[in-house]
Amino acid sequence: MERTVKFTEGHQIFRESFRRFLMKEIGDRYPQWEEAGIVPRDIWKKFGDNGYLVPWAPEQYGGAGADWLYSVIITEELARYGASGLFVPLHNDIVAPYIHSYGTEEQRERWLPGCITGDTILAVAMTEPEAGSDLAAIRTTARRDGDSWVLNGQKTFISNAHLADLVVVAARTGGKETAPHQAMSLFAVERDAPGFSRGELIKKIGLKAQDTAELFFDDCRIPAGNILGEEGQGFIYLMQKLQQERLVCALGSQAAAEKGLEITIEYVKERKLFGKPLSKFQNTQFLLADLASQITAGRCFIDELINNHVAGRDVTKETCMAKYWVCEMAMHVADRCLQLFGGYGYCTEYMISRFFVDARIQTIYAGTSEVMKLIVSRLMGL
Catalytic residue numbers, as ranges: 245
Distances (CA, A) of 303 to 23, 237, 248, 254, 311: 26, 25, 12, 10, 12
The CA distance from 327 to 321, in Å, is 10
Q: If you write DSSP's letter for every residue of 155-209 in order, what string do you get? A: EEEETTTTT-SEEEEEEE-S-TTS-GGGSEEEEEEETT-TTEEEEEEPP-SS-TT
The CA distance from 257 to 153, in Å, is 38
Question: Closest Cα to residue 341, out of 253, 258, 252, 270?
Answer: 270
Spell out a b/e string for 325-364, using b for 16 or more CB atoms within 10 Å of the CB, else e: bbbbbbbebbbbbbebbeeebeeeebbbbbbbbbbbbbbe
Q: How many CB atoms lie within 10 A of CB 182?
A: 15
- Name every residue whose Cβ is closer than 8 Å to that of residue 50 and which is 6 or more positions away in sequence: 21
Question: Closest Cα to residue 52, out of 80, 8, 85, 86?
Answer: 86
How deeply is 9 buried, as exposed, middle or buried, from its count of CB atoms within 10 A (0-12, 13-18, 19+)? exposed
Q: How many CB atoms lie within 10 A of CB 40?
A: 14
Question: Closest Cα to residue 94, out of 235, 278, 201, 237?
Answer: 237
- Name every residue whose Cβ is closer than 8 Å to that of residue 148 and which is 6 or more positions away in sequence: 221, 222, 223, 224
